[in-house]
Amino acid sequence: MSSPLSVPASGPRPASRRLRRPLALVAAAGVAAALTTGCSVAGTDFHPGTAAVVDGSRVTLNEVDEVASATCVNNAYFVENGQSVPVNGGLLREDYVKIAVREIAYEALVDETDAVLGSDYTAAVADAEKQVGRVDYLDEDERASLLEIVTKATYAQYASLAVGQAVLAAEGETSVTDEDAQAAGQEALTDWLTSHDVDLNPIFDLTTDELVGTATVDVPDGVDALPDNQRCG
């Protein structure tokens, strides 16, 4: 079963909804109302048009909406071909915010630890660019938005490994598995987020564990019952 970020080699453009307005957010049950210490939810005077401010770097709501729209159309393609299921559009918006926050934090950590991502990362980005470039059921702007989230997610994945390796090497560890390095990278990310200013727009109700990617995600039932502008596929 494909995910909303899966990319086929080619195929016809689906007759899907073109979401150009902000998607309404449907919160998952059990999600905490605030982030842990160091990652506070911004108040009602949060900057207009802003999804998140991470140590001075801004993620805009326009970015979030454009990427979520493209990801939604992409998922609709897989739904129509029986390779995926409809998803909650609000969760796609949350996914982009989480990935964007991770990228900003890992960029700082890579610099702080002198981590090196290496040729595997470069090859993964090149492969993503080729795959997204072949997608003919998205227009040029949608392909650019889809590539944006794919490359950010790729960076976070490889940066987590590289940062973890650098941290463990600095601690004198000489025999490190990828699993150990990923765990160390995620721990470094958690520490960074809790010690820097990370403000989220209140519509994104996320915990630090969710930002890091270590939380158990509860997917709400009843996606088919959602209004069309909240359902992708």
Q: For residue range 164-207, list pLDDT tens digits in order.
A: 999 999 999 989 999 999 999 999 999 999 999 999 999 998 88
Strands 198-200, 231-232: pairing is: unpaired
The residue type at 99: I
- Give me the pLDDT at residue 91, please: 87
The residue type at 177: T
Are 161 and 108 a contacting pair, CB within 8 Å? Answer: no
* Average pLDDT over every residue of 95-114: 97
Which candidate, 38, 33, 32, 68, places its Cα nearest to that of 54?
38
Q: Is the pLDDT confidence value at 216 over 70?
A: no
- Give me the pLDDT at residue 228, please: 54
CA end-to-end span of the chain, whole Å?
14
- Give me the pLDDT at residue 5, please: 62
Q: For residue range 40-55, list pLDDT tens digits in order.
A: 333 445 678 999 999 9
Q: Is the pLDDT confidence value at 149 over 90?
A: yes
- Give me the pLDDT at residue 48, please: 84
pTM given for the model: 0.76
CA dihedral sign, ordered 191, 194, 195, 199: positive
Q: What is the mean pLDDT of the chain?
A: 78
Domain limits of the chain? 50-213+227-232
- 68: its two tokens: 């979520």
- Percent of the chain at pLDDT exceeding 70: 72
